[in-house]
Amino acid sequence: MHVESPAPVDNTKTAPAASEPSAGERAARGDRLMAWALVAATAAVFWPVTRWLVAETAAREQIRQAAILLGAAAGLVAWQHRGELRVRGDLCNRTLLLLAAAFGAVAAAGLAGWSWLVLPGFALALAGCLQALFGAPGYRYFRPLVAGVAALFVIILAFPVLDWPLRQLAGVGSAIVLHHLGLAPNLTFAGQGGDPQLILSVAGGNFLVATECNGFGLITSGALVAILAGGIAGRRWWTVAALVPAGLVIGFLFNVIRILVISTTARYFPGHYDLLHEIAGTLALWGGLGLIGWIAWRPAPGRG
């Protein structure tokens, strides 16, 4: 008797076909691509402003401090919220309104000849790009940086105007304190035309209150730290607004302390004036900024 063997069984499994992206996923991907396209177009339009900003910042050490603080604040925000930040492609009405206002500022600057309009336009563009990429939650985290960038524009424009007045205030303030200490200081104005000089004489030494001594970097960095620290900590806008003048005053006072330290101790370190100048400047800078940051860094209720 012939017995047929059973037909072989095919045990191989067919791999399931890759699932097609849903309509929602395709729409989200399209929104992200559109957001990146808008950011690229905005960056191209504002490239001249960006180049000017970088050049002005690199030209002066006192302004570079502000840029470093902005970079550090951006890194802090990104690290704090690293689990929440992702590219969303948020093309909501607020995103489009911010970008439209930014481009409108550029158009108005070109038509009316008011070149300064591109600066608020840049801040609006930055806000719109952040909103487009990260949505409302991400924009809320980075909002203090937008205010910081706007403040940086003010700092750059104010430097040539405030250099000499700040030198005068620093010299006069130091002389008043030295007088109360019984050291009989003397202030002398020298130079002429567009190159005025202020010389502080105390304890047998003459000290030039130069541009580097005007405290501009410390004063403006103090205001910027108040904006960034208070904003990142989630404090109310009116509290941050009140912290800004406090940061200016603290920065001014620490700059006066720096001048006092240098002018009263330089005679004890002959041949090491440059080193003394750098040490006193560094201690005053980080001491002042540290105090302002400590005052401003108070998380709002409910934000830890």
Buried b (16+ CB within 10 A) or exposed e, 242-270: ebbebbbebbbbbbbbbbbbbbbebeeee
- Write down the pLDDT at residue 304: 44
Q: Is 6 part of any domain?
A: no
Q: Is 166 part of any domain?
A: yes
Q: Is 205 part of any domain?
A: yes
Q: Is 74 part of any domain?
A: yes
Where does the pLDDT of residue 249 fall: very low under 50, low under 70, confident under 90, or very high at 90 and above? very high
Lowest average pLDDT, out of 13-27, 56-70, 100-114, 190-204, goes to 13-27
For the chain, the average pLDDT equals: 85
The range of the structural domain enclosing residue 211 comes to 27-296
pLDDT at 291 over 90: yes
Higher pLDDT, 10 or 55: 55
Q: Is 116 part of any domain?
A: yes
- Write down the pLDDT at residue 1: 44
| C-alpha to C-alpha distance for 294 and 243, rounded to whole angstroms | 11
Where does the pLDDT of residue 115 fall: very low under 50, low under 70, confident under 90, or very high at 90 and above? confident
Q: Is 9 part of any domain?
A: no
The share of the chain scoring above pLDDT 70, in percent, equals 88
Region 7-17 average pLDDT: 51
| C-alpha to C-alpha distance for 197 and 208, rounded to whole angstroms | 7
Q: Is 196 part of any domain?
A: yes
Residue in the block written with tokens 């989200």: 28
| C-alpha to C-alpha distance for 167 and 213, rounded to whole angstroms | 7
Higher pLDDT, 221 or 11: 221
Residue in the block written with tokens 């849903």: 22
Q: Is 13 part of any domain?
A: no
User: The tokens of 60 are what?
Assistant: 């002066």
Region 39-52 average pLDDT: 92
Provide the whole-model pTM: 0.80
Q: Which of 137, 42, 144, 31 is nearest to 99 (CA)?
A: 42
Domains of the chain: total: 1
